[in-house]
Amino acid sequence: MNEEVLAYFITWTCYGTFLPGDQRGWTKWHQGEKSPQPLLEQWCRDQMLEPVCFLDTSQRRIVNTSVQDHCNIRGWTLHAVNCRSNHCHVVVTALDYDGDLVRDQFKAWCKRRLREDQKKRRLDHELREHWWSRKGSVRKLFDEKSVDAAAIYTLEAQEVGGSKMEGS
């Protein structure tokens, strides 16, 4: 079966908020979910180049706006975006684009806008280089029901502590 991707459900985390080995469990790239490994988590924490990044309300607004603006520029259909203090979810249709590229473009443009905001507020002494964790999740959505479920999760389940999309 060779279905066309209708949309992507993209998630990325803020720098240092979800390290490999994390007690909540974690995902290893191309190897799936892994059990907590406290020694690995501590080793990763020791390797960090900057403090953990948590976004305030203003920064979250900047990320949401940056994603919306980038979708407008690219002609992509944005179904939902919700930046939280420690991660961001986006549901987007970006035909003929690889999901990893879409995610990476969002992360790059959001970082650029966040740094511009720091400079505008004259926070040069606090300029952050590392805003995001490496990579992130890109789930392919193949039907309207999945797109709708991802959008609802993105916009609503975050407020009530939801952690898994229904049916996933």
152, burial (CB in 10 Å: exposed 0-12, middle 13-18, buried 19+)? middle
For residues 101 and 134, membership in a common domain is answered with: yes
The gap between the terminal CA atoms of the chain, to the nearest Å, is 19
Q: Model pTM?
A: 0.84
Dihedral pair phi/psi, residue 155, rounded to 5°? -90, -30
In sign, the C-alpha dihedral spanning 109, 93, 87, 58 is positive
Number of domains into which the chain is organized: 2
- Could you tell me the residue range of the domain that residue 41 belongs to? 19-51
The CA distance from 130 to 16, in Å, is: 9
For residues 72 and 155, membership in a common domain is answered with: yes
For residues 135 and 88, membership in a common domain is answered with: yes
89-116 confidence digits (pLDDT tens): 999 999 999 999 999 999 999 999 999 9
In a domain, 166, yes or no: no
For residues 64 and 86, membership in a common domain is answered with: yes
107-149 confidence digits (pLDDT tens): 999 999 999 999 888 766 678 899 999 889 999 999 999 999 9
8-51 confidence digits (pLDDT tens): 999 999 999 988 777 776 666 666 676 777 888 788 888 899 99
**So what's the pLDDT on residue 32?**
65
For residues 112 and 143, membership in a common domain is answered with: yes
Confidence of residue 81 (pLDDT cuts 50, 70, 90): very high
For residues 32 and 108, membership in a common domain is answered with: no
**So what's the pLDDT on residue 13?**
93
Dihedral pair phi/psi, residue 17, rounded to 5°? -85, -15
Pick the closest to residue 105 from 21, 10, 13 (CA basis): 10
Q: Where are the alpha helices (DSSP H) in the chain?
A: 38-47, 57-74, 99-120, 144-155
**So what's the pLDDT on residue 40?**
81
